Structure formats: C-alpha cells, structure tokens
Structure 1
C-alpha cells in the first residue's frame, strides 16, 4: 500500500464517496415534498444515525489504537493519554447525538432538562444559553469550525513546508489528515450550506465530518497514511486486508443508518 497517496486508500475513498452520495440525496430530495428531506435530516433521521454510528466506531478505533500503543510501550505517555481522551470524547459525542437513546427507549427527561434543554431532552449540548441560544449553537459550533479548519487545512498546509509541525502533532498523539481529502470535506460542508434550504441543514456538515474523521483516523493510526509513527498493522498485507474490510464496513454503517431511521422514524423537529 502506497502510504503517500490517500486516494488509493479504500477507506478514505469510500468515505468521500458516501459523503458525496448523501450530498446528492439531499439535493435530490430538496423538492416540493418536505417529508423526504426531513427523513434525511430530522431527529433520528438517516444523517443523525450515520453520525452516531461513525462516532461509535471512531471511538472504538481510538481506544484500540491506545491499547496497541500501550502494548508497544507500557507507559503513561502524552500520546497514550491523548488517544484515551479522544476515545472518551468521541464516545460522549455519540451518546449526545442520540440523546443517550432517550427517544428510542421512550424515557422521560428529568425536570432539570425539561426546564433548561432547548429540546427538553436529556443531553448537554442543547442546554439553553440565554433566551434563544444553546451550548451547541453558541459555543460548540464555533469551536468545531475553528478546530476543523485548523486541523484539516491550516496545519496540513504548514506541514508541507515545515515537517516539524507534523512531528509535533504526532508527538501529542494526534495526526494530520490528508490535505486533499480535507479540502473535499470542507467543500462539501460549504456546498451543503449554500444549496440546501432546511432548518437542520447543519446536520449534513456534521455527518460529513463524522465520516471524514472515521476514515482518516483508520487510515492514519491503522494504515499509516500520512502518519510518521508505527501504525497498528505492521505489514502491507495486513493493512491492505483490514482497509478493504473497513471500507466495506463504512457502507454497512450507511445501510444500518438507513434502517435505523426507518425503524425509529425521523421526526420533523
């Protein structure tokens, strides 16, 4: 497997294909029938379930990479702690995305969340700030935008002429995604905001990010794509087999998201 060419890596290529396909579905369903787009973007819709599934798998991959790092060097190092911390953070994001299965299990919200959550759900990211804002819209979206542009565009661009930046990022347990793949991801987010007219069109950008990070996390930590430290899989044969299996797994996640949305039922909220 050629490590310098991301576009021949099946996981990244399939991840991009899935994002482009969902963008096409959103455009195709932006017609006179609003129910179609609500099915895609509404609560418990296809896009939201795809985000959840990608976050869960990404969390598992990060935890696996942390365990592998520990086996290679059984010490509490900065990169080990970073991987563990990211695994927990992404797992929390997965739970928040579906309100910890509250709607699926038909669990009533405690009084605190009924009074302080913008959607009266048991999650933190929709807690109200002021009369119209929420943690998600007022704080998290801005932080995600800044972090996303820095990690996907600014740092990879700087690393092209300053290799020390990539080494510094990897020393902290992180990685830099391939710049070309990142440009496609950012472009899809921009296009979705420009051409989709829907109150929940921001869910598209969030799903694009979830798929993008799932594919690039696997490519970096497991396949060694654009990554200077030893990947989880030591030889090209294992990396190739695992990459194709993961690529098929991405398609399977999309199928599961579609089935979950059909079973739970997307809502127009």
Structure 2
C-alpha cells in the first residue's frame, strides 16, 4: 500500500524537495555570477571553499540520518538485511564527508604520513586523491562509479518503477529507497548545466555539492516523512509536515554555515586543477 503522505502531498510540493532545488540552483547561479571573476569563483570551488564545506556538512548530516534510521529499525525489528545495508551506507557516507576535508588534516594542521606524501596527488591524508595510473583514484574510478550509480538510482529505476511498482518494493526490501523524479530531474539538470556553463578546473565540485544536498533532502524525505516511499516513515501526518519545515530551515542554515566555515578556514586557492 502506497504511503498516504506521498499521495496527499505531491512530491514537487514538498518543502524539503523544494528547498534542496532552491539551494542547488542558488549555488549554480552564484558560480555563474562569479564566473567573470576568477578570484571569487576560486573562493567558491577550491579546497576549503564554500562548496566543499557544504559537501562535508550535507554528507555528515545524511550519515547521521541514515544511522538513526538503522538503529531505530534494529530496535524494532532486529538485525535484518535492510538494517545492515543502512549501517553500511552510514559508514560510507561518513567516510565521504571526512574525505572532503581530508579528515580535518588542514584544519588541525597535521603533516601527511610518508605514504600519502609519496602516493597522494595533493600530498594529503585522503584516499580519493591517491594516484591511480596517470590520474587519481577519484577521476579514474570513483567519478565513473558515481555517474553510473547516480543515473541508475535517480533516473532509470524511478522511471521503471512508475510502470512496474514491484521495482520500488524490491529496492525498499533491501533498506534502500528511490528518489522522486521531482527531485532527481532538477538535480541531474543542474549537474549538466554546471558542466556546460562553468569554466573552471574544479567545476566538478558543483555536481558533488548538488548530489550531497540532493541526497540529504531525499534521505530525510523518504525515511522520515515518507516522500515517494511505501514503507512506514518515522514521522507521519501533521508531525511530518512540521518536522519537514524545520528541516528546510536546517538545510538553509547549513548553506550559511558552509559559507562561514570557508571564510574561517581560509580557502586554498593555489590548488588549481586539484580533485
């Protein structure tokens, strides 16, 4: 049976979905407005810049949300496959968050161990910039996996599920969810536009930020208030709407916090062309 919240409140009208799209569109418009000023655009895109701190904050909160859902399901239904999948995703997203800021290395001013000095493209303590052939692990492998997984999860499976509802049921059986097309299509469109309209060696950071904000919104929407989700969410009815509005405020607060953190940490503008 389809979740009543998803039926009574169309996806495109849900405040969390709308807020994620507005935040991502604002970031792209900001990049376009600063595209004529290399210094300002670099401030947005470089290491410890606005978008990197946004990625860290969004991934961190998403990891916390996934972990909360996993523990709640564990307590109420025992250790099942869906719980294990959610716990795995919790750890994976947490690692992604820490990788974005090199595990606090630059903030704490910690020298990289010898292994990373020799094998990391930026001499940092992180995994995604490790050398992999002529490129980094990030460019050679991870970006391709993210692209394939993102298209399958955000476009192909949701489209297929519209004609075959059993697809959504199958996905949710493993503790996963499918984002609503009302969230996925704007997200994918913004990624495409960022690659076409922005001329900067690190323009790929925009797409990563869009993804971080997109998944923060859709993870909350699915598991907590039942947006495009058939299983019982953690909140329902009036409480779900109130919590959703509060969560949108938190999302905008994260954008402001990312901006302030970038100014406090001091964006590294010398890493042109870094991953």
Superposition TM-score tier, normalisation by shorter sequence: over 0.9
Match of 1:34 among 11, 35, 38: 38
Find the counterpart in structure 2 of residue 260 from structure 1. Answer: 261
Is 1:10 the equivalent of 2:23?
no
Runs of 5+ unmatched residues, structure 2: none
Rounded Cα–Cα distance in structure 1 between residues aligned with 2:16 and 2:84: 26
Find the counterpart in structure 2 of residue 78 from structure 1. Answer: 81
Report the alpha carbon displacement of residue 240 of structure 1 after superposing the two structures with TM: 1.1
Report the alpha carbon displacement of residue 2 of structure 1 after superposing the two structures with TM: 4.3
Give a deviation string over 1:156-178, Cα, whole Å, max 9, x none: 00001111100000001000000
Rounded Cα–Cα distance in structure 2 between residues aligned with 1:12 and 1:154: 19
Within-5 A mapping of 1:55-74 = 55-73=59-77
Find the counterpart in structure 2 of residue 200 from structure 1. Answer: 202
State the Cα RMSD in Å.
0.9
Find the counterpart in structure 2 of residue 241 from structure 1. Answer: 242
Give a deviation string over 1:10-63, Cα, whole Å, max 9, x none: 1111011000000000000000x2110010000000000000000000000000
Find the counterpart in structure 2 of residue 115 from structure 1. Answer: 118
Q: How many residues are aligned here? A: 265
Find the counterpart in structure 1 of residue 51 from structure 2. Answer: 47
Find the counterpart in structure 1 of residue 129 from structure 2. Answer: 126
Runs of 5+ unmatched residues, structure 1: none
SS of residue in 2 equivalent to 1:3: helix
Give a deviation string over 1:173-198, Cα, whole Å, max 9, x none: 00000012101100000000001000
Give a deviation string over 1:123-167, Cα, whole Å, max 9, x none: 01100012x311100000000000000000000000011111000
Is 1:182 the equivalent of 2:184?
yes
Rounded Cα–Cα distance in structure 2 between residues aligned with 1:8 and 1:236: 15
Q: TM-score, normalised by structure 2?
A: 0.95
SS of residue in 2 equivalent to 1:266: coil
Structure 1 residue ranges, 4+ long, deviating more than 2 angstroms after superposition? none
Retained in 1: the 8 A contact 2:61–2:216? Answer: yes
Give a deviation string over 1:78-118, Cα, whole Å, max 9, x none: 11111111011000000001000100111000000000000
Rounded Cα–Cα distance in structure 1 between residues aligned with 2:130 and 2:232: 41
